Homo-oligomer: A and B are copies of this chain.
Amino acid sequence: MSLSHVLLGLLSDQPRTGYELERVMRAELDSIWRAEYSQIYPDLARLRRSGFVFLRVLGPRRGPRRNVYRITAAGRRELRRWVAGRLEAPAAEKDPTLARLAFLDALDPLERMEILLAEERRLSDRITRLRTASPARGFRREARRGTVEKLEATRRWVRSLGQQTARSASTPPKKK
């Protein structure tokens, strides 16, 4: 269960509210991990029951009352266990983009080129957005660099597929 650990990781910086956690995840961990409030709030409650965080209710600075969560010593221990990789299931990785393109045979060659170009644009957009996003610190910054490099690898791959496709479309399609 990575979400709980990601939350612990973010709380190890400083205490935060559920709302802030969502914002930081979106800002600093995009394409690595994110979650909806509907997952964050119950998860914080669970972390609290496990004694990994504790809650302090503050009067509102702005808006409603603020439930500020703070990590405990046990929480830090748990975080370290996770980071050290001594827990953690294999966590089946999935890639919707690669999954879709794996079935590109389903389209006729003319359409393929179009899809590949669209995909390349989409990847470029994501890369630019990541690069221009608000900077993070320490290993969180490095992790974002890792994401960018992954996306660039995928973009190179898409591009090479596009070139192959273009070649096979221009040469007379010799029926095999």
Contact = CB atoms under 8 A, between A and B. Distances in A.
A50 interface: no
A165 to B, nearest CB: 10
Interface in A16-56: 29, 31-34
Interface in A74-132: 76, 79-80, 82-85, 88, 91-96, 98-107, 111, 115, 118-119
Q: Report the interface size class on chain A.
A: 35 or more
Given A31-B95, A85-B100, A96-B91, A154 B143 contact: no
A72 interface: no
Contact of A102 (B9, B76, B84, B115): B9
A32 B139 contact: no
B96 A83 contact: no
B102 A140 contact: yes
